[in-house]
Amino acid sequence: MTYDIKDKVVLITGATGGIGAACAREFYRHGAKLVLTDISQSSVDKLASEFSKERVLAKAMDVTDWNSIKKVIKQTVVTFGRLDITLANAGISWKKSAYTVFNCDETEFEKIIDVDLLGVWRTIKTSLPEVIKNKGQIVVTSSIYAFTNGMCNAPYATSKAGIEMLSRSLRAELAAKGASSTVLYPGWITTPLTEGVFGGDNLTTKMREIGFPLFLRRAITPEKVATALNKGLSKRKPRIIVPARWIPIQILRGIVGIFSDWFLANNTRIQSMLLELEDRTKK
């Protein structure tokens, strides 16, 4: 049976980012009511101004704060009477350059985990009673980093792999309740966060060029992700991988992972660049 998003209430965390904003516009276009959340009230207010006031609730929310999340969920139910879909999309990465585990700042590493992994957990846990009651859906924005090597982006990749398993576990647990959970795996996207995730400099760009073929490195727009997600939700798909060229890599992740790990550890050019990166980013 097709799941119709029209008149459904959708909560989006990280709503003002590239994927979050694109999904908000796509869902709204298909008749959904929106709960837009992000760390800044002014940013969600700006996005909300694009939509009819009757179909949008814009609230600042901190996914590292249980009380902040609970307050927004309560306001959602008061405003719209229900919550059907939660898109746990909020995420951060390195603030400036890419780092290795050896030379990164401990506080920044743990902050990324707190937002990207535990923030998703808090959002899901708080949303579940309403989502289950309405036989709705939970969606987590994971990444191709859930099944590719996280070199130079370890906290981000660790989080994306972690929320993938969280969503997979949740899907099995929700089946008898009529609700579902979906993992969204975007590839490289043309958003500001992408530059942070991949370092945004010549060294990490060269590493990508050595480690990935050109067809996998081509970035797509957030709008393509939003379109794919909307279609996937209509069928309650367990996983949505976009662009589709990453699907074979995901299917063969065990084999590809073994080769990839070996290649990265043994390629002299990449190892030399890693040492250069560490030297450049010494504390």
Q: Which residues are known to be catalytic? A: 156
Question: Across the beta sheet with 85-88, what order do the strands follow?
Answer: 56-60, 33-38, 9-12, 85-88, 137-141, 180-186, 239-242
Distance CA 153, CA 160 (A): 11
Rounded Cα gap, residues 80 and 134, in angstroms: 13
- 3-class state of residue 134 by DSSP: coil
Phi, psi of 37 (to 5 degrees): -130, 145
The DSSP bridge partners found for residue 128 are none
CB 227 within 8 A of CB 177: no
Phi, psi of 92 (to 5 degrees): -135, 170
Q: How far apart are CA 281 and CA 125, in angstroms?
A: 37
CA distance 101 to 206: 19
In this structure, which amino acid lies at residue 229?
A: L
Tell me, what DSSP letter sits at residue 13? T
Q: Is 56 helix (H, G, I), strand (E, B) or coil?
A: strand
Task: Give me Rg for the CA atoms of the chain.
Answer: 19
